[in-house]
Structure 1
Amino acid sequence: MLKRNLPLLTLFLLSACTQVSDQSPLHTASATLPEYRQADFQSYLSDTRAWLEQQRVFVSADKQAELDANMPYELQPADGLPAQKAILLVHGLGDSPFFFRDIAQALSQQGFLVRTILLSGHGSRPADLMLADSDEWQTMVSHHTQLLQQQVSEVWLGGFSTGANLATSEALNNDDVSGLLLFSPAIVPESAMTHLLPVANLFSNWLDQEAPDGNYTRYGSLTTNGATQYYYTTRQVRQQLADSTYDKPVLMALSADDSVVDSEAVKTLFEQRFSNPASKLFWFGKTTEPTDPRIEILTSHLPQQRISNFSHMSLLFAANNPFYGRNGSHRICENGQTEAAEQACPNSNDLWYSNWGYQEANKVHARLTWNPYFDRLVSGIETVTAADQQASR
């Protein structure tokens, strides 16, 4: 999801009452979206790069870095051996394949053939989300899952936020999927007002328009249609889970303080609808005794690292990530605090890190954009995926 994370009712009221006439290239849609049904992945990569080179509105001086961040990609198993297992990774709303850089490298080290895709409407300009359609996103995930299943017999799906919804829906429809890796799955929205998004979409093209801030890994503005398509993915996967359980192994990671996701509701779904005994949920929050032995609780309050709690996006990134890591080049100061705190953030020598919207007296918080437990998460992924191999023997 995107950086604003404002209460949805506020966004709905603003969008229903206000039309912003911004005709900048960022806020003007492309004529068409790129094709994604190529017969092989290399053709998909080539066609996607050609389209992005023509349609992306660049927001930094480093155009090559921007293209690389938004391009889908493939990583072969790091051991150099022929792939025996593979995974398709699906990013979130407004995000890019860059979000899986650290996870993808870890999976490659574990012997996976790793592929990421670029969801239609992404990677080019925020206005292209006016053209997005959640059914097309689902078809895209299905097509690229099938391409992998033609190549190897063991295929996993992984997703972040909206991408986790799409991955879960595909797995529930495709019995040949071996299991799921779900990071901040946005199955149940934090706001109860998301059902109003289709109505808001009738009145306004935009929920939020922002000037670029140099972050080329995600959009800084959000179309009403993009948010509406996200809502449709939540509705679809919840309907599926209401009718069935998922009995393949699942690795799920959730921040208890997530401002996008109703984490408690998703945790309940994990306990009740994801039935495999080898599944595992990493819960980053208060250390209370879990009711399900498959849940591992890791405290998110780490004052020695000036971390107050974990954000929606922080679970994906290692501390040494050059862009989002502890000493990374990009800091998200627009974090739902007071204006004074956000102004103080860029030059603060005593900066704390948190989820969007968290405030504490006498502290300035930027968004937490890395996971101090990243290595533990990677270890958990290996345990869950190995459990599937043992069960299949």
Structure 2
Amino acid sequence: MRIVIFMLMLISGVGHSSETCLDIVSDVDTIMAAKEQGRYRYAIGDGQAAVDISDNPSFATYLRRANQWLKTHNPRAHTPCPVNTATVQLLQQQQQLPANTQVHHLLSPFELRQHNNDKVALLFHGLTDSPFSYHSLAAYFYRQGFTVRTVLLPGHGSAAAQLQDAEFSQWQQLARYAINRAANEFEQVVIGGYSTGAALAMAELVAEPDRANIRALMLWSPASEPHNKNGWLAKWIDRVPFVNWIDKDADIDFAKYESFPFAAAALAHQAMSRISQDALTEAELPNIPLFVVQSEVDTTIDARATLNMLKVWHDPQKRPQTRHDMLVFYGQQQAAKALLGAAFDIRSYSCQRGQPPCEDVIDISHIGVVNAPQHPYYGRQGLYRNCGSYLEDDARYRQCKVGEVIVGERTAANLSQQRPLKRLTYNPFYAQLEQDMSAFLARVMQ
């Protein structure tokens, strides 16, 4: 199947050097064809989903291997991709990226290097994502004096079908490798995770809670429990022959899979099961401060499950460092306070239509929290539109891609509006988020 798809891509000119990763984003006819044909859904090369780290390579060697893996497996690896994020500019200044970037450059894990080994922020991306999802936050951490490291989870960075080749043990191996490398090479370590990457990072720290120089765990939209409570079924459905996909989208986003196989849901379930309330209640929790960002209307992850997870984690008997914990909550603070208690430091924000900083934004989505409004691809003026709510309705899907839209999370109320919903891909409260992160880091870094 991969060979057939790759030949079709060559015949149709996909990946040709005359086009860029941005050309397709607003070409609705090409988008609709890609959605129907699945031309971006399959990787090339062998079915090897992970970079080899069995020999415990240096982090620089790991980065080189990951980039080579991307160039071998991603069918658009060499497509020009002129997306000039703040992190791209920093990597170019450090001569780690060329002036003319291609897709493989932007999807590769990276290291923004300081001239010391004082402190590092190690960041794990989410399910179907890539290190590109950290291009706003990485620039922030670098400005705060951190070396910033990211990794590429096995099965990511090529095409959505590659997730069918990944194994959860490979995710665990990579997390353990990256955390141990950071802990051995830097005096102070901050571990960060977005969505499923948050669950993976948290589970790894719970498994080995006594690493002395880890100063904090920072989580954005952490995967506690899926909003859809049938997610546990995915591992069984994934074993049924020819039943492979939950969603089939156009996959025009060069940095994030839009199609979603059952195998991906099964992987996510394995990650989340390790940080369930029951698992955390029985575990020896690491005595490190916790910073969490969560939207109340998140339709990917159950926000209440995240609050319940925090309640278990916020146990002064197990973790004296609970006094430093902080929650940034996009919703009504009373709902969080009622569950977590008055002593928990909660910073809450909610959108008021027509008023800055939200303006035309209704509410905050799961996928938007990590991107600044100025992000050139996902931001307020970015070209990309997330329209996956209308996969079964071509007319609404087409209208969402090029017509007038509303912006927010894909809640039932938002989807019932006359205009189609473009799922929010940036955080209108990003400036406040940076201020809250700075306040938290000032507490916990020595």
The alignment-based identity, stated in percent, is 24
Check conservation: 1:256, 1:263, Cα contact below 8 A.
Answer: yes
Instruction: Compare 44-53 and 212-221 and name the one that shifted more.
Output: 212-221
Relative distance call for 1:191 and 1:347 in structure 2 (3 A) is closer
**How far is the alpha carbon of 1:288 from its aligned partner?**
3.2
* Aligned residue identity for 2:329: W
Q: Secondary structure at the match of 1:251?
A: strand
Question: Of 226, 234, 240, which residue of structure 1 is paired with 2:279?
Answer: 240
Aligned to 1:271: 311
Question: Of 64, 71, 74, which residue of structure 2 is paired with 1:46?
Answer: 64
Check conservation: 1:286, 1:300, Cα contact below 8 A.
Answer: no
**How far is the alpha carbon of 1:184 from its aligned partner?**
0.5
Aligned to 2:299: 259
Report whether the alignment pairs 1:346 with 2:364. no
Partners of 2:162 and 2:230 lie apart in 1 by: 24
Relative distance call for 1:301 and 1:261 in structure 2 (3 A) is farther
Question: Of 347, 367, 375, which residue of structure 1 is paired with 2:423?
Answer: 367
Partners of 2:408 and 2:417 lie apart in 1 by: 14
* Aligned residue identity for 1:240: A
**How far is the alpha carbon of 1:310 from its aligned partner?**
1.1
When normalised by structure 1's length, the TM-score is: 0.86
Report whether the alignment pairs 1:226 with 2:282. no
Relative distance call for 1:71 and 1:60 in structure 2 (3 A) is closer
Aligned to 2:442: 386
**How far is the alpha carbon of 1:229 from its aligned partner?**
1.0
Question: Of 133, 152, 156, which residue of structure 2 is paired with 1:99?
Answer: 133
**How far is the alpha carbon of 1:132 from its aligned partner?**
1.0
Partners of 1:48 and 1:180 lie apart in 2 by: 25
Aligned to 2:48: 32
* Aligned residue identity for 1:377: L
* Aligned residue identity for 2:41: L
Report whether the alignment pairs 1:109 with 2:143. yes
Q: Which runs of 5+ in 2 are unaligned?
A: 1-36, 82-100, 316-321
Report whether the alignment pairs 1:283 with 2:329. yes
Check conservation: 1:83, 1:111, Cα contact below 8 A.
Answer: no
Partners of 1:274 and 1:170 lie apart in 2 by: 18
Check conservation: 1:284, 1:298, Cα contact below 8 A.
Answer: yes
Residues 111-130 of structure 1 aligned to structure 2 (within 5 Å) = 111-130=145-164
Aligned to 1:12: none
* Aligned residue identity for 1:279: D
Relative distance call for 1:32 and 1:341 in structure 2 (3 A) is closer
Q: Deviations over 1:254-289 (max 9, x none)?
A: 111111111012112213323411111111123536
When normalised by structure 2's length, the TM-score is: 0.76
Q: Secondary structure at the match of 1:283?
A: strand
Question: Of 409, 412, 418, which residue of structure 2 is paired with 1:355?
Answer: 409
What count of residue pairs does the alignment treat as equivalent? 365
* Aligned residue identity for 1:313: I
Check conservation: 1:169, 1:240, Cα contact below 8 A.
Answer: no
Question: Of 303, 306, 320, which residue of structure 1 is paired with 2:374?
Answer: 320
Relative distance call for 1:287 and 1:60 in structure 2 (3 A) is farther
* Aligned residue identity for 1:186: A
Q: Secondary structure at the match of 1:308?
A: coil
Check conservation: 2:225, 2:301, Cα contact below 8 A.
Answer: yes
If asked which structure has higher relative contact order (CA below 8 Å, sep 6+), I would say 1
Aligned to 1:164: 198
Aligned to 2:229: 192
**How far is the alpha carbon of 1:61 from its aligned partner?**
4.3
> Over the residues paired in the alignment, what is the CA RMSD in angstroms?
2.4
Q: Secondary structure at the match of 1:203?
A: coil
Check conservation: 1:258, 1:355, Cα contact below 8 A.
Answer: yes
Relative distance call for 1:334 and 1:194 in structure 2 (3 A) is closer
Max Rg structure? 2
Partners of 1:363 and 1:211 lie apart in 2 by: 20
Aligned to 1:212: 250
Q: Secondary structure at the match of 2:191?
A: strand
Aligned to 1:14: none
